């Protein structure tokens, strides 16, 4: 049986959002999509880009993977490249103007790599995927203790930086960035507070997009 949660959610969608925006959906079906933003996010169920940015259908092209990683450009045909395919489609076909790498706090993929957790299966798909962040681990060095929150946060932010560097290895991404047709962005979402940090391209530092967010909702958080 199809999950009841999804059935109920779909009914709510039909009665609510689709009913209110059916003209927009019809136009998107007729005219096609023209999003200006590609967002590379994490599969984490707590970090939904469409919810965080309150987006309407057709506004953001989203690709999600474990730990919101953008791989480097390479042509090894022995593997499938879902994220690379999404980057290619968005930049070359849809001609998006922005690519956002959205990292987040409490990332399970980052923690699994940092803590050197055992593979979940013989295929170790997560381990092989997360091996891309080895350069970040080398720069940061080992954590002082398992589950070190400060270390994990620095690891999460540094991984966003690595993904932005990897995106620049795609020749057609680099050419469009250099011509001013495309801009790359890094952002970081706090699950607990709702705060969004945005990367300054000059200093490479992350700072709040909106001031006072943690304080605004502090009374609603559990002790």
Res 29: pLDDT: 96
Q: Are strands 196-199 and 183-189 parallel, antiparallel or unpaired?
A: antiparallel
What pTM value is reported for the model? 0.93
CB 110 within 8 A of CB 155: yes
- Strand, coil or helix: 88: helix
Model confidence pLDDT, tens digit, residues 106-151: 999 999 999 989 999 999 999 999 999 999 999 999 887 877 899 9
pLDDT category of residue 222 using cuts at 50, 70 and 90: low
Q: What pLDDT sits at residue 220?
A: 59
Q: What is the pLDDT of residues 185-195, one digit of tens each?
A: 999 999 999 99
Scan for tokens 């700072």, then name that residue: 207
Q: How far apart are CA 178 and CA 197, in angstroms?
A: 25
> 24 pLDDT exceeds 80?
yes
The domain defined by 34-220 carries CATH number 3.40.1050.10: yes
Please choose, from the candidates 72, 67, 61, the residue with its C-alpha nearest in 3D space to the C-alpha of residue 39.
61
Residues of the chain with CATH 3.40.1050.10: 34-220
Spatial CA neighbour of 187 closest among 160, 150, 151: 160
How many secondary structure helices (H) and strands (E) does the chain include? 10, 6
How confident is residue 223, by pLDDT bands cut at 50, 70 and 90?
very low
């Amino acid at each position: 049986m199809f999950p009841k949660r999804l059935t109920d959610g779909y009914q709510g969608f039909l009665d609510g959002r689709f009913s209110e925006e059916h003209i927009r959906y019809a136009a998107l079906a007729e005219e096609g999509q023209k999003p200006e933003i590609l967002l590379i996010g994490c599969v984490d169920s707590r970090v939904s880009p469409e919810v965080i940015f309150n987006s309407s259908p057709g506004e953001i092209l989203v690709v999600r993977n474990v730990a919101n990683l953008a791989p480097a450009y390479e042509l090894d045909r022995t593997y499938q490249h879902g994220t690379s395919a999404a980057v290619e489609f968005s930049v070359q076909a849809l001609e998006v103007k922005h690519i956002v790498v959205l990292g987040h706090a409490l990332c399970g993929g980052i923690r699994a790599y940092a803590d050197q957790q055992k593979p979940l299966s013989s295929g170790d798909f997560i381990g092989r995927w997360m091996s891309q962040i080895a350069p970040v681990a080398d720069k940061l060095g080992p954590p002082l203790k398992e589950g070190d929150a400060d270390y994990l946060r620095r690891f999460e932010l540094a991984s966003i930086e690595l993904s932005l560097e990897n995106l620049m290895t795609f020749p057609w991404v680099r050419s469009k960035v250099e011509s001013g047709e495309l801009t790359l962005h890094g952002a970081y979402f706090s699950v607990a507070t709702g705060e969004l940090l945005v990367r300054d391209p000059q200093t490479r530092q992350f700072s709040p997009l909106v001031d006072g967010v943690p304080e605004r909702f502090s009374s609603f958080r559990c002790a």
